[in-house]
Amino acid sequence: MVTSPHRAASEAGATVLRAGGNAIEAAVAMGAVLTVTCPHFCGLGGDAVWMVAGADGAVTTFLGVGQAGASAQSHAGTPIPLRGPQAALTTAGAVDSWGHALDFSRSNWQGKLGLSGLLEPAIALAMDGFAITPSQIHWLQQRRAETALWPGFADLFLPRGAIPIAGDRLLQPQLAGSLTAIARHGAREFYEGALAQRIASALADRAVPLTSADLAATHTDQVAPLSLTYRDTTLFAPPAPTQGISTLMTMGILQNFELSGLADSGDQHIHLVVEAIKRAFLHRDGIADPRFVAMDDVAGRLSADGLATLAGTIGPSAMPWPHAFRPADTVFFGAVDDQGRCASVLQSTYFDWGSGVVAGDTGIIWHNRGAAFSSDPAHPNALAPGKRPFMTLNPGIATRHGKPCLVYGTQGADGQPQTLALLLTRLIDLGMTPEAALRAPRFLLGKTFSDARDSLKLEGHVDGAVQHLLAGRGHDVAPIAALSPLAGQAGVIAIAAGGQLSGGHDPRGEGVCLSA
């Protein structure tokens, strides 16, 4: 089974599985298609974080995260813009993560497929075109004033010089050429080959402080995941510099409450999850690249006693909430193969449309993950040469009795731990199916790109009486539309003890879950 935010990507992954490929191979095929069909959320010029699990429940993490260039020190201590060349401070790790994942597949899962075949659907879609999605049109409309200032952007994404309408097709022949070069020469073509030289030259022309040597220094890290036991399930999340620990801390706090008897989306359910999120987020600012800054007391943050102490601070009333907002957009996709092996992946260009910097004639738009660094030189997440920034990406895998049982993840930056906590409590505590859990109402705590208030945004299908009760608890309730795009686009695949699969993708977008 596969799940992704675009039908063409899900079909590419399902085709790989039906032909006998494994979950990693299917995920690479999906990830490549998504760089074509979701250019507003991910691309070759972005990053990726992977969680993979064998049928034996062994879980590992691939951090395909680009690092700041060697010249970054000259920018340290100064404000980092959100868009433009000075936001494009880090290299892009997504393509290298594909190569690393396939190497792992061959060494550990008897994988036989390579990039040459797996990228074919993406290349065809880039060359022949696809119907532009409502999501892409929405984000073009949201950024119309900004995109007019981005050199080369209109040539790639605005057919006929205007925002497209539903049914218009997007052709990306330059991107097809870049994908073809990667398919022919391997993932390192993006970092050390002729394509890398073209990218480096184009970025230099745009005054981006990255060089060919910076690209060549980019490599995926394979690391042990973080884990937490929740009820009878073990939850796995990626370590720093991601916010995976925030999701685990939230669930560890909720472990101290009996949720199984609560009504889904009732005021007590929502209140407890919101308050657990607040306490986890208050411990988030120390997250940074562990190669530069040792994160203090990871074991302590995930200890049962420490989480119980945090849970004990939750009362019937809401804790006041001003907190720094971290925006981002991304895509989640997942796969489970016929042996029960799993891949759970997030790809991202950070903001929608990344930095807005187009890398010459490669068809690649570069991400702005460098804007996630702190401009405070004393901060753990301060900019430094070779350093990876804090990132919100945290795909998840869960095991039960030593076997994978859940693959899950979501778009949404700050909203990722919030949506995941709701999904996991619904799946584990309330016994809901993936489709029901995905359709159920969500909240979003704090600021968004369109609302600067530190309010508790509740989707419109939260019962009116529940909204009133939450307001009575002291939450600053702000209604948003039912099934709002603000609430992220999540995907879930559940694996029952007998191996039966069920899954879904978010009704808030155009994604689909397919059986293979």
pLDDT tens digits for range 350-397: 999 999 999 999 999 999 999 999 988 899 999 999 999 999 999 999
**Does the pLDDT value for residue 33 go beyond 70?**
yes
Asked whether residue 105 falls in the same domain as residue 155, the answer is yes
1 has which bridge partners?
Answer: none
**Does the pLDDT value for residue 325 go beyond 60?**
no
The rounded Cα 120 to chain-centroid distance in angstroms is 24
Asked whether residue 361 falls in the same domain as residue 323, the answer is no
Does the annotation mark 330 as catalytic? yes
Asked whether residue 6 falls in the same domain as residue 72, the answer is yes
Asked whether residue 445 falls in the same domain as residue 475, the answer is yes
Identify the residue whose tokens are 């006998």.
20
Asked whether residue 17 falls in the same domain as residue 32, the answer is yes
d(CA 505, CA 513) in angstroms, rounded, equals 6
Residue 452 pLDDT class (50, 70, 90 cuts): low
Tell me if 485 is assigned to some domain: yes
Q: Where are the beta strands (DSSP E) in 393-489?
A: 396-400, 403-410, 443-445, 456-459, 477-480
The rounded Cα 442 to chain-centroid distance in angstroms is 18
Asked whether residue 248 falls in the same domain as residue 133, the answer is no
d(CA 14, CA 475) in angstroms, rounded, equals 43
What pLDDT score does 74 carry? 73
pTM here is 0.96
Closest CA to 398 of 299, 495, 490: 495
Tell me if 400 is assigned to some domain: yes
Identify the residue whose tokens are 């879609």.
125
- Residue 72 · residue 215 · CB < 8 Å: no
Residue 451 pLDDT class (50, 70, 90 cuts): low
Measure CA of the first residue to CA of the last residue in the chain; give whole Å. 5
The residue range of the domain holding 293 is 224-327+393-514
What pLDDT score does 87 carry? 94
- Residue 70 · residue 386 · CB < 8 Å: yes
Tell me if 387 is assigned to some domain: no
d(CA 426, CA 84) in angstroms, rounded, equals 41
**Does the pLDDT value for residue 166 go beyond 90?**
no
Residue pLDDT, tens place only, 416-444:
999 999 999 999 999 999 999 999 999 99
Closest CA to 344 of 423, 264, 269: 423
**Does the pLDDT value for residue 323 go beyond 70?**
no
Tell me if 378 is assigned to some domain: no
Q: Quick one: three-class SS letters along 207-232? A: CCCCCHHHHHCCCCEEECCEEEEECC
Tell me if 376 is assigned to some domain: no
Tell me if 281 is assigned to some domain: yes
- Over range 231-238, report the average pLDDT: 98
**Does the pLDDT value for residue 338 go beyond 60?**
yes
Q: What CATH number is associated with residue 488?
A: 3.60.20.40
What percent of the chain is predicted at pLDDT more than 70? Answer: 97
d(CA 483, CA 416) in angstroms, rounded, equals 16
What percent of the chain is predicted at pLDDT more than 90? Answer: 88
What pLDDT score does 461 carry? 95
Catalytic-labelled residue, pool 133, 220, 250, 330: 330
DSSP string, 288-335: --TTTSPPTTHHHHT-HHHHHHHHTT--SSPPP---------EEEEEE
Asked whether residue 217 falls in the same domain as residue 231, the answer is no
Residue 241, preceding bond cis, omega within 30 degrees?
Answer: yes
Closest CA to 346 of 218, 247, 427, 433: 247
- Rounded to the nearest 5 degrees, what angle is found at the Cα of 24, between the Cα atoms of 249 and 33? 100
Our separate counts of H helices and E strands in the chain read: 19, 18
Asked whether residue 95 falls in the same domain as residue 188, the answer is yes
Higher pLDDT, 329 or 199: 199
Contacts of 331 (CB under 8 A, 6+ apart): 4, 5, 34, 38, 41, 42, 346, 347, 348, 411, 489
Q: How many residues does the chain have?
A: 516
User: What mean pLDDT value characterizes the chain?
Assistant: 94
Asked whether residue 191 falls in the same domain as residue 278, the answer is no
Asked whether residue 212 falls in the same domain as residue 295, the answer is no
Helix (H) or strand (E) holding 490, with range, is strand 490-495
Asked whether residue 338 falls in the same domain as residue 290, the answer is no
Tell me if 273 is assigned to some domain: yes
Tell me if 384 is assigned to some domain: no
The total number of structural domains that make up the chain: 2
**Does the pLDDT value for residue 284 go beyond 90?**
no
Residue 324 pLDDT class (50, 70, 90 cuts): low
- Over range 21-46, report the average pLDDT: 98
Residue 300 pLDDT class (50, 70, 90 cuts): confident
Residue 449 pLDDT class (50, 70, 90 cuts): low
- Residue 93 · residue 238 · CB < 8 Å: no
Asked whether residue 173 falls in the same domain as residue 304, the answer is no
